């Protein structure tokens, strides 16, 4: 649900604008693999402020030079500011037991400013940061590995954080990583990422009720909110993921609505593959502005607003075998935009199953739907989007199987089976911008 912001190149005088050390020159010799627990000056378990700072300094002195650092199963290490990984660096936990925990205490990770780019990626805002150069020569960080760890934030509301950040990165691996306990936060945030792989990640249990002065949002995995040197992400894969319980309430919900996404692709030029995962208990399951991407074998449960949303120029994406249960306003939304440079166009979904729209009745005053095409008189319209072979069971509260409120064109449903619902006419096309070929009951 974020709007992509323009890249910002800031001069760095010995220290980069993310708040950590500059990357070490590529000519430095990489240290051999070492266990964190064996490093001099490291304090394990519950730590004082001074011990946390010492831990951070010891780790960063090695990681900035591309060290391969290991953590034993069951270890807990507390840090005082971002861990900064240079090219070739690794932070890898042993398998076969409880994931080692990297703990972000609220006293140290206290950022409340998300409007300024240096602040939202700064040393008190991000737990682990492996970004490349953000100005000057724009040399990317290459070959970083983060595997088999649990990045855990202390649960205290009123802060705006990011778990793992990689901007201007190539060939990175984030595998079997857990991120939890954030207030308002982004679990994993990549931007200008090429050839990266996020697999077997579990992002869960973010919570905040704060009445922020500016729009805030939590997201499990975010791609390209802040491009570096105008380079979009490409050939990046998100697979075998689980994202759960990213929640807001109280004054936050009253002011901004349910601003949480499972996955958010935030640039129309971003090219990302998403496969084999589940998203549950969020505002929107997958919210994409991206193009030429894929979404395969994904289950979305309990999305307060939309299960899948294509908006702000999302184009030519291919989606297969998606199941959406208990979405609020609609299971799938193709939307126009007044901000995008291109139409939301040419997206194709096949093998879709939607069950129970607006199961809690929160949207009873609205036109709820299995498929919603929206954007009346938008500057950029939904055009030529298709849904093929879908079964939509609206349940007792959903109103329509398919609603097209847009002034776009060519949005078409083929072999669409619609059951249940409150409306006797289950297809509503207001401005003639599309059509639906309904399947007979029992036919797919």
pLDDT (tens digit, 9 = 90+) per residue, 157-210? 999 999 999 999 999 999 999 999 999 999 999 999 999 999 999 999 999 999
Beta bridge partners of 345: 315, 383
137 Cβ contact list (under 8 Å, min separation 6): none
Domains of the chain: 101-120+129-438 (2.160.20)
Low-confidence stretches of the chain (pLDDT beneath 70): 1-31, 440-444
Taking alpha carbons only, the member of 355, 293, 347 closest to residue 323 is 355
Q: 130 near 146, Cβ under 8 Å?
A: yes
DSSP for residue 37: G
Q: 48 near 11, Cβ under 8 Å?
A: no
50 Cβ contact list (under 8 Å, min separation 6): none
268 Cβ contact list (under 8 Å, min separation 6): 289, 290, 291, 312, 313, 314, 315, 340, 341, 342
From CA 163, how far away is CA 154, in angstroms rounded?
12
Q: What is the structure's pLDDT at 168?
A: 98
From CA 170, how far away is CA 236, in angstroms rounded?
9
pLDDT (tens digit, 9 = 90+) per residue, 70-82? 999 999 999 999 9
Residue 164: both structure tokens together: 């793992």
Q: 399 near 373, Cβ under 8 Å?
A: no
Q: What is the structure's pLDDT at 148?
A: 98
From CA 347, how far away is CA 78, in angstroms rounded?
45
205 Cβ contact list (under 8 Å, min separation 6): 180, 181, 244, 245
Q: What is the structure's pLDDT at 240?
A: 98
């Amino acid at each position: 649900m974020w709007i992509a912001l323009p890249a910002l190149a800031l001069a760095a005088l010995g220290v980069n604008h993310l708040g950590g050390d500059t990357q070490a020159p590529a000519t430095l010799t990489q240290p051999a693999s070492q266990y964190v627990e064996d490093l001099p000056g490291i304090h394990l378990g519950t730590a004082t402020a001074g011990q946390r700072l010492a831990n951070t300094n010891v780790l960063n002195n090695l990681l900035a030079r591309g060290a391969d650092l290991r953590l034993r199963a069951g270890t807990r290490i507390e840090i005082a500011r971002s861990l900064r990984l240079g090219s070739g660096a690794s932070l890898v936990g042993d398998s076969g037991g409880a994931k080692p925990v990297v703990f972000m205490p609220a006293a140290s990770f206290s950022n409340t400013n998300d409007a300024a780019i240096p602040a939202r990626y700064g040393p008190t805002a991000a737990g682990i940061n492996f970004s490349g150069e953000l100005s000057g020569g724009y040399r990317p960080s290459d070959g970083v590995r983060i595997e088999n760890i649990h990045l855990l934030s202390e649960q205290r509301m009123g802060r705006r954080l990011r778990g793992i950040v990689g901007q201007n990165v190539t060939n990175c691996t984030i595998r079997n990583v857990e991120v939890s306990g954030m207030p308002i936060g982004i679990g994993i945030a990549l931007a200008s990422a090429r050839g990266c792989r996020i697999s077997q990640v579990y992002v869960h249990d973010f919570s905040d009720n704060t009445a922020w002065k500016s729009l805030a949002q939590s997201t499990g995995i975010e791609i390209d909110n802040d491009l570096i040197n105008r380079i979009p992400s490409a050939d990046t894969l998100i697979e075998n993921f689980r994202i759960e319980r990213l929640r807001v309430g109280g004054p936050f919900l009253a002011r901004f609505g349910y601003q949480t996404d499972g996955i958010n692709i935030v640039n129309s030029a971003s090219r990302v593959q998403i496969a084999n995962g589940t998203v549950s208990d969020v505002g929107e399951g997958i919210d994409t502005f991206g193009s030429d991407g894929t979404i395969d074998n994904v289950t979305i449960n309990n999305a307060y607003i939309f299960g899948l949303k294509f908006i702000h120029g999302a184009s030519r994406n291919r989606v297969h075998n998606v199941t959406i249960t208990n979405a609020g306003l609609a299971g799938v939304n193709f939307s126009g935009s007044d901000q995008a440079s291109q139409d939301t166009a040419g997206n194709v979904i096949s093998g879709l199953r939607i069950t129970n729209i607006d199961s809690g009745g929160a949207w009873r005053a609205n036109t709820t739907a299995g498929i919603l095409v929206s954007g009346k008189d938008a500057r950029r319209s939904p055009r030529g989007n298709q849904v093929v072979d879908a079964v939509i069971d609206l349940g007792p509260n959903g109103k329509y199987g398919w609603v097209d409120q847009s002034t776009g064109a060519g949005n078409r449903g083929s072999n669409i089976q619609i059951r249940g619902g409150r409306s006797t006419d289950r297809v509503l096309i207001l401005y003639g911008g599309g059509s639906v070929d309904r399947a007979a009951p029992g036919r797919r």
